[in-house]
Amino acid sequence: MPVRWRAPGRVNLIGEHTDYNDGFVLPFAIEQGTTATVDTRTDGRVAVASTQRPEPVEVAVDTFRPGTGSWADYALGVLWALRRRGVDLPGLTISIDSDVPVGSGLSSSAALVCSVATAVDALLGLELSADDLLAVTRSAENDFVGAPTGGMDQLASLRSEAGHALFCDMRTLATEQVPFDLGDLTLLVIDTRAEHRHADGEYRRRREGCERAARQLGVPALRDIDAAGLQSALARLDDDELRRFTRHIVTENERVLQTVAALRAGELAELGPLLTASHVSMRDDFRITGPELDCAVDALLGVGALGARMTGGGFGGCVIGLVETRTADTALAAVQTAFADRAFGSPQAFAAVPSGGAHRLAS
């Protein structure tokens, strides 16, 4: 009997590039997700097909190697990571269907690896622990596909609960479900459709820069610098870029903690200035925004959004804007007009619904 699991994409509410600095993040799962339907087969081969891709991929279960560059690597990477952990895999048929936009910073890749990992786990009765599932899905992306990402996306896709944001300490991987009830506010997600130009190289550069800064400061990770120690840390760094990276990470960790406190207190409006401050820090210090992202944020703030920021890895993708629900249409129209004025592409938008993490569907 085939087994079907669906795993969602995510929006990161706040805490950008803090995950690989052992810091804090606050993502939530969205309604859009990826469904993997898996079944065993007897010929020792793995076939991966997707409704969204014309070319199915078929390989022998014991031959595939990292880094072929195919879209199917995300699915094959999960199997490869399972094999590395000693799982004896039979042949498999894997069918993928997804409504997470690709390349928009909504973690379509995490949705894919998490849907495949949870489906294969259930099909084969592996009973992997939550930590093992996280390790397998991270390894598929980091070691097989070769994307040096930080783990937030897979955690969000696996462990989110509907109506909550997921507060994670990325050092200990401890998580807390924080109620996220938007009340009469709407969190607009605006996909700017801006290309992630050079995003991989720029992401790696930020990651390496943060690691260099931590080494210069004599700490295991930038997480170990807090707001009180920021000025003296900056004075000990010899490079302006490393000072900017450090300032972003330290202040961003602080903003995550403040956002969690505001959510726990039910003070949603307090999120606004924190989101906007996060964007300014990513624009001026971490330098991972871009013309379309800045334009969307400015347009939202210009028509009275409580706050707005880019979300995800950067250099393209989505902006989130916290607006009063009755003004959501006006806010979106303001972004569309600003984009048309600057001859940018047409943005797409939806209202975010904090949703549940990976779950089984009826076969």
State yes or no: residue 17 binds ligand GLA (CB under 6 A).
yes
The residues carrying an active-site annotation are 153
Nearer to ligand GLA, 11 or 299 (CB): 11
Can you tell me the distance from the alpha carbon of 178 to that of 281, in angstroms, rounded to the nearest whole number?
A: 24
State yes or no: residue 153 binds ligand GLA (CB under 6 A).
yes
State yes or no: residue 19 binds ligand GLA (CB under 6 A).
yes
169, with CB counted inside 10 A (0-12, 13-18, 19+), is middle
Backbone angles phi, psi at 127, to 5 degrees: 55, 50
Using the contact rule CB under 6 A, the part of the chain among 127-135, 151-159, 213-221, 347-355 near ligand GLA is 151-159
How far are the Cα atoms of 2, 60, 88, 89 from residue 44, in angstroms, in the given order?
17, 6, 11, 9
The distance of closest approach from Cβ of residue 162 to ligand GLA in the complex, given in angstroms and rounded to an integer, is: 22
**Tokens (6 digits) for 180:** 């996220």
Question: What's the CA angle centered on 165, arms 350 and 247, to 5 degrees?
Answer: 95
What DSSP state is assigned to residue 144? I
Of residues 8, 33, 312, 357, which one binds ligand GLA by CB under 6 A? 312
State yes or no: residue 152 binds ligand GLA (CB under 6 A).
yes
Q: Which of 79, 81, 101, 100 is nearest to 91 (CA)?
A: 79
Nearer to ligand GLA, 29 or 123 (CB): 29
State yes or no: residue 309 binds ligand GLA (CB under 6 A).
no
Nearer to ligand GLA, 9 or 354 (CB): 9
Can you tell me the distance from the alpha carbon of 174 to that of 168, in angstroms, rounded to the nearest whole number?
A: 6
**Is residue 25 helix, strand or coil?**
strand
Can you tell me the distance from the alpha carbon of 67 to that of 141, in angstroms, rounded to the nearest whole number?
A: 10
State yes or no: residue 149 binds ligand GLA (CB under 6 A).
yes
Nearer to ligand GLA, 256 or 335 (CB): 256
**Is residue 311 helix, strand or coil?**
strand
Nearer to ligand GLA, 151 or 321 (CB): 151
Find the DSSP H helices in the chain.
73-84, 108-124, 130-139, 152-159, 199-217, 230-235, 240-264, 271-281, 291-302, 328-341
Using the contact rule CB under 6 A, the part of the chain among 41-49, 150-158, 160-168, 302-310 near ligand GLA is 150-158
The distance of closest approach from Cβ of residue 257 to ligand GLA in the complex, given in angstroms and rounded to an integer, is: 16
Per-residue x/- track, 268-307, ligand GLA (CB under 6 A): ----------------------------------------
Can you tell me the distance from the alpha carbon of 33 to that of 96, in angstroms, rounded to the nearest whole number?
A: 11
Can you tell me the distance from the alpha carbon of 186 to that of 243, in angstroms, rounded to the nearest whole number?
A: 35
Using the contact rule CB under 6 A, the part of the chain among 9-17, 33-41, 48-56, 276-284 near ligand GLA is 9-17
The distance of closest approach from Cβ of residue 239 to ligand GLA in the complex, given in angstroms and rounded to an integer, is: 22
State yes or no: residue 150 binds ligand GLA (CB under 6 A).
yes
Nearer to ligand GLA, 22 or 153 (CB): 153
Using the contact rule CB under 6 A, the part of the chain among 12-20, 176-184, 296-304, 332-340 near ligand GLA is 12-20
The distance of closest approach from Cβ of residue 346 to ligand GLA in the complex, given in angstroms and rounded to an integer, is: 24
Using the contact rule CB under 6 A, the part of the chain among 111-119, 149-157, 194-202, 232-240 near ligand GLA is 149-157
Applying CB under 6 A, what is the total number of residues that bind ligand GLA? Answer: 12
The distance of closest approach from Cβ of residue 25 to ligand GLA in the complex, given in angstroms and rounded to an integer, is: 7
Of residues 313, 316, 347, 357, which one binds ligand GLA by CB under 6 A? 313
Place of tokens 């014309």: 54
Contact 16, 36 (CB under 8 A): no
Place of tokens 């989130």: 320
The distance of closest approach from Cβ of residue 109 to ligand GLA in the complex, given in angstroms and rounded to an integer, is: 8
Contact 74, 285 (CB under 8 A): no
Q: Where does this chain bind ligand GLA (CB under 6 A)?
A: 12, 16-17, 19-20, 149-153, 312-313
